[in-house]
A = this chain, B = another copy of it.
Amino acid sequence: MKKTDNNADILINRTMIKVRFSEVDSMNIVWHGVYLKYFEDGRESFGLEYPGLGYGDIMKSGYMTPIVDISLQYKSPLKYNDRAIIETRFINTETAKICFEYEIRRELDNKIVALGNSTQVFTDHDGILQLWSPEFYLKWKEKWNVK
């Protein structure tokens, strides 16, 4: 499922989720807050495909990467038992940030269900914001040919 375009500034992962009963609300559609779990599932799966950027790796390198900004657009509802594909795209940036875009499609008809994006920054273990990208992050970018 790996895909890097020629400009090499986007890495893409796709993973599938299935809607749980506990995730739908009284309208029988997925409660809007659950999509942040799906985005996290997407980042998780992305991390398995492009190792080195998981919570564990980041902690070991002496950093944390709190989310500072997130946005979601809801296009169509998901129902109980629906399967959906989460596409997670790493968007390269010169700044000391980790930026992802998300696109969730219903498997049945490939219809877009939700779009979103997130921004993470780097802090040390005391929570101090890092203005420059940590070494391990630069190396990770180099390894995956993201410039």
Contact = CB atoms under 8 A, between A and B. Distances in A.
Interface string A76-93: 010011000000000000
A108 interface: no
Given A32-B36, A33-B40, A68 B74 contact: yes
A80 B84 CA distance: 23
B26 A44 contact: no
Nearest to A54: B81
A69 interface: yes
Interface in A56-81: 56, 64, 66-75, 77, 80-81
30 contacts: A20-B37, A20-B41, A20-B44, A21-B25, A21-B26, A22-B25, A22-B37, A22-B40, A24-B25, A25-B25, A25-B26, A26-B26, A26-B27, A26-B28, A26-B80, A27-B64, A32-B66, A32-B67, A32-B70, A33-B37, A56-B81, A66-B74, A66-B77, A67-B74, A68-B73, A70-B71, A70-B72, A71-B71, A71-B72, A77-B127
